[in-house]
């Protein structure tokens, strides 16, 4: 499971891989009683990621279908109408994605309860935060892939954007935007699932509205500063929120950074 965050695409197809999930297999191993369940984890997490990617694709397909139909029946010559349709399409897509996310949450909960009944464990084989993280990751991966592969394909070649007067920083900006969106999806996933667990509907509303905000910010392009800077601010805020939802705190962070984590673990009789 890898998240592709590609910056630079002029002549080199360099994708900086930020493998937040390379360490996932170590993260996803809380205390076990039976070895068989330990073996089960990587497939579950893998499956979850790709299942979620598929769900995201379905939501995209549905929203594209709606947009496509509306474009066909609309007046193709009127540019204001087309722009309006685009905005409508964006909003619809965002709402559909969040709906699918919620639907998937429900599905996962049911699946996990079933899994729990089958096994003789008392605790869930995989915690809901981990599920949220993996779901967000799959979502982000798919979204990132769709964002960037097209642009990458055309960036292979000797030319760069600009002959018609567009900004030269198109590739760089789209790469950074993609990275932000992928991370955002991850954070949204964590916060969303957490909010659903704890029935905090206002958190849900904030997630959906921030998603809408970020998508609509891209209408600022080609003023890339106008779209990138707010997006990154929102990303950092969401990141902090997700960190807190996942169980982090300033205290824990201080322990880690000052290398007192071992002492912390020993004190709480917790094996690493």
In terms of Cα–Cα distance, which of 238, 215, 205, 235 is closest to 60? 215
Our CB check for another protein shows the closer of 205 and 262 to be 262
**248 interacts with another protein by CB under 8 A:** yes
Identify residues 249-268 at the interface with another protein (CB under 8 A): 249, 252-253, 255-256, 261, 264-265, 268
**236 interacts with another protein by CB under 8 A:** no
CA distance 93 to 161: 28
Identify residues 117-156 at the interface with another protein (CB under 8 A): 122-124, 127-129, 143, 146-147, 149-151, 153-155
Helix (H) or strand (E) holding 177, with range, is helix 170-197
Our CB check for another protein shows the closer of 161 and 206 to be 161
For residue 177, which phi and psi values (nearest 5 degrees)? Answer: -65, -40
**203 interacts with another protein by CB under 8 A:** no
| Long-range contacts formed by 206-210: CB under 8 A, 24+ apart | 207/98, 208/94, 208/95, 208/98, 210/184, 210/234, 210/238
User: Shortest distance, CB of residue 150 to another protein, whole angstroms?
Assistant: 4
**269 interacts with another protein by CB under 8 A:** no
Our CB check for another protein shows the closer of 20 and 104 to be 20
Identify residues 4-63 at the interface with another protein (CB under 8 A): 5-8, 10-12, 14-24, 26-27, 30, 57, 60-61, 63
Question: Is the CB of residue 58 less than 8 Å from the CB of residue 96?
Answer: no
Stretch that binds another protein, among 33-41, 43-51, 171-179, 233-241 (CB under 8 A): 171-179
Question: Is the CB of residue 162 less than 8 Å from the CB of residue 16?
Answer: no
């Amino acid at each position: 499971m890898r998240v592709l965050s590609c910056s630079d695409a002029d002549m080199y197809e360099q994708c900086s891989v930020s493998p937040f999930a390379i360490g996932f297999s170590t993260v996803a191993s809380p205390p076990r009683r039976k070895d068989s369940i330990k073996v089960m984890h990587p497939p579950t997490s893998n499956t979850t990621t790709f299942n979620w990617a598929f769900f995201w694709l379905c939501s995209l397909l549905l929203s594209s279908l709606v947009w496509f139909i509306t474009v066909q029946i609309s007046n193709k010559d009127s540019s204001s109408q087309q722009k309006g349709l685009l905005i409508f399409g964006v909003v619809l897509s965002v709402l559909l994605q969040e709906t699918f996310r919620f639907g998937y949450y429900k599905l996962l909960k049911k699946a996990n309860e079933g899994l729990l009944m089958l096994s003789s464990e008392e605790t869930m084989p995989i915690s809901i935060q981990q599920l949220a993280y993996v779901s967000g990751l799959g979502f982000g991966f798919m979204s990132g892939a769709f964002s960037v592969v097209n642009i990458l394909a055309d960036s292979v070649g000797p030319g760069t954007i600009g002959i018609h007067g567009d900004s030269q920083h198109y590739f760089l900006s789209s790469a950074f935007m993609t990275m932000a969106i992928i991370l955002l999806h991850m954070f949204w996933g964590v916060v969303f699932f957490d909010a659903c667990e704890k029935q905090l509907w206002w958190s849900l509303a904030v997630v959906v509205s921030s998603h809408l905000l970020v998508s609509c910010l891209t209408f600022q392009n080609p003023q890339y500063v106008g779209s990138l800077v707010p997006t990154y601010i929102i990303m950092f805020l969401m990141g902090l929120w997700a960190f807190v939802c996942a169980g982090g705190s300033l205290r824990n962070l201080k322990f880690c950074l000052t290398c007192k984590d071992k002492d912390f673990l020993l004190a709480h009789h917790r094996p690493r």
